[in-house]
Amino acid sequence: MIYLLLVSFIWAFSFGLIKGNLTGLDSNFVSFARMALSLAVFVPFFRRTGLRSALVFQFIAIGAVQYGLMYLAYIYSFQFLQAYQVALFTIFTPLYVTLIHDLLSRRLHGFFLLTATLAIVGTGIIVYRELDQSDLRLGFFLLQFSNICFAFGQIYYRRLLQKNPRLKDHQIFGLLYLGATLVTLLAAGYSTNWSMPTLSGTHILTLLYLGILASGLCFFLWNYGAKQVDAGALAILNNLKVPLAVACSALFFHETIDLQRLLLGGVLIFGALFLNESLAKKIYGENT
């Protein structure tokens, strides 16, 4: 769980960078740049030893969905939504994680649905604001597509590595970024004006931070950590970055927040995690 908590803290500092520092850049180009940088980080670690061709294509496909399609929809949604609306509409990811896990395992885990719902309610309490209705519908559906892609990828990767325990994550993770890079390159090739003016220093530094750390290292640690917890904890932890981001905004950037809502929502999220850690193994056993 420590890896998922660490990533949540890092992601908590990343909110607002896309909206604030990458204004004017084509969203598909931003997605491609992030994934290409992530790929560059992990290419030196790639090893084909013991990796069947079928697995190679499966890992590439996971990356194409979990990171490629997810980022294309996620970053494009900023064209229609405010940053707080993006944060709000990502809160349903725990539900998708749980449902996809149940679908692939062909077993309903009602307790996981309960704790995931508690996490969603807690996060909603923290980030809910009265919504501006302009362009809301398209942005909402883009975010749900993005959430489903991210949920599917982490669950399928988790299952695939559990079936192939001899594989080393760092040696195969470049394949995921290869899939994501190919998908985002296709989209960027269609929409990006490559003769645009050069990137500013702020653009470059932000893309380096997002591509190398927030995407490259953190997505690796997230999927690595996903193997070490049950599906219920994984679902809940998908939303932990939201209260952490709100807390960071207050502590480090001196933004005004609703402390009462943050505390209430945080209690529900951590309460859901506590319930899951206390009861899940007793209810379902080890293989969850």
Three-state secondary structure string covering the chain:
CHHHHHHHHHHHCCCCHHHHHCCCCCHHHHHHHHHHHHHHHHHHHCCCCCCCHHHHHHHHHHHHHHHHHHHHHHHHHCCCCCHHHHHHHCCCHHHHHHHHHHHHHCCCCHHHHHHHHHHHHHHHHHHCCCCCCCCHHHHHHHHHHHHHHHHHHHHHHHHHHHHCCCCCHHHHHHHHHHHHHHHHHHHHHHHCCCCCCCCCHHHHHHHHHHHHHHHHHHHHHHHHHHCCCCHHHHHHHCCCHHHHHHHHHHHHHCCCCCHHHHHHHHHHHHHHHHHHHHHHHHHHCCCC
d(CA 284, CA 238): 21
The residue-averaged pLDDT of 36-63 equals 92
Say whether pLDDT at 144 is over 90.
Answer: yes
- 10-19, 113-122, 143-152, 183-192 — which is least confidently predicted? 10-19
Distance CA 94, CA 259 (A): 24
pTM of the model: 0.87
Judged against a pLDDT cut of 70, whether residue 47 lies above it is answered with: yes
% of residues, the chain, pLDDT over 90: 35
- pLDDT tens digits, 162-216: 998 889 999 999 999 999 999 999 998 888 777 665 788 888 898 999 899 999 9
Q: Is the pLDDT of residue 19 over 70?
A: no
Q: Residue for token digits 């893309």?
A: 207
- Distance between CA 111 and CA 185 in Å, rounded? 40
The C-alpha atoms of residue 204 and residue 200 are separated, in whole angstroms, by: 6
Taking residue 118's Cβ as centre, other Cβ atoms within 10 Å add up to 20
Sign of CA dihedral 224, 225, 229, 232: negative
